[in-house]
Amino acid sequence: MKFNQSNIKKAKKYLDKDKCIGLPTETVYGLAANAYSSIAVKKIFKLKKRPKSNPLIVHYSSFNALKKDCEINDNFIKLYKKFSPGPITYILKLKKDSKISTYVTNKGKNLAVRFPKHIIFKKLLKELKYPLAAPSANISTRLSAVEASDVKEEFGSSIKCILDGGRSKIGIESTIISLISKPCILRLGGLEVSKIEKVLNKKVNLNTSPKKKIAPGQSRLHYSPGIPLKKNVKKSKIDEAFILIRKRKVKLNNYYYLSKKNDLKEAAKNLYSCLRKIKNKGYKSISVEKIPNKGLGKTINDRLDRASKY
């Protein structure tokens, strides 16, 4: 469904009836439903085949809307002013009288919140009386969707409304930061940690390792194309797909480029669509050349590590 005002109205009708819809964000596509309704939230878990223990991110249109459900703190205000709307998710304390369905957090006391930047998402939220719970629009553990057609590929006819907002600009999920006590990164994402550290004026710890698991999304098997993937490969076999960080003069049939010239932002944007393309071509395995481990390259490597645990 292309984007116009009447489609926003249609999407609202679905949501008001506790149904799930697919919709674009600047990071990846989301599978959204009313975060105040347990009936609606349960449908998200069912459609995604997601364990109930893995909590959802709730998307808000404004600071004022968020204040009704969460406790605000100084670090949040600093980061919110600089980066929201945008590719950052904050973990905050839920208020006792919050209306968020207990299924969103699996009865937990903290809530992941985000302010999406995509114009369609913003326009839709303005029409609604509730925030939207929206995990990435893919079956659990599989590749995230960066186009409306990817959402269709994941869910087929089981969702009836997908708003088409074109290709996601960032193409990789938001960075998650816990602000419950000392700030701590729980998931690398579309916003570089160095930018967050600059605003908070201190070093921020990372807790993205599967051993000390806090966010279930830190689990090993995640973002998986469903075929084996190897990192840091210098030379690939001819019968496997070879992902390269930059374009080469020689173009072999099994070569897939993430960017024209070593551009990590462009590479992050292309990562999921590249993996999806390879999977759909029927390759049995993937090799990836070494990706520089700096800036968004760290996020790319994180996703490749998890994808390689298949």
Size, binding site for ligand TXA by CB under 6 A: 27
Q: What's the min distance (Å) between Cβ of 53 and ligand TXA?
A: 9
174 binds ligand TXA, rule: CB under 6 A: yes
For ligand TXA, the binding residue among 40, 132, 134, 179 (CB under 6 A) is 134
Q: Which residue in this structure is represented by tokens 């969707």?
A: 145
For residue 185, give the H/E element and its range: strand 184-187
What is the secondary structure of 208-239 as a DSSP string?
A: --STT-SSGGGSSS-SB-SS-EE-S-SS--TT
For ligand TXA, the binding residue among 30, 86, 131, 225 (CB under 6 A) is 30
Rounded to 5°, the CA angle 214-292-150 comes to 65
For Mg ion, the binding residue among 75, 136, 273, 287 (CB under 5 A) is 136
CA 37 – CA 103 distance, rounded (Å): 9
Q: What's the min distance (Å) between Cβ of 65 and ligand TXA?
A: 16
Cβ closest to Mg ion, residue 56 vs residue 128: 56
Cβ closest to ligand TXA, residue 54 vs residue 308: 54
Cβ closest to Mg ion, residue 136 vs residue 236: 136
Q: Residue 176: which of 94, 96, 88, 255 has the closest Cα?
A: 88
User: For the packed helices 296-307 and 264-281, what is the interaxial angle rounded to 10 degrees?
Assistant: 20
159 binds ligand TXA, rule: CB under 6 A: no
The amino acid that residue 161 corresponds to is: C
141 binds ligand TXA, rule: CB under 6 A: no
Q: Residue 192: which of 281, 100, 83 has the closest Cα?
A: 83
Taking contact as CB under 6 A, which single stretch among the options 24-32, 238-246, 273-281, 301-309 is the one that binds ligand TXA?
24-32
Interacting residues with ligand TXA (CB under 6 A): 25, 27-28, 30, 54-57, 89, 91, 105, 108, 110-112, 114, 134-136, 173-174, 176, 186, 214-217
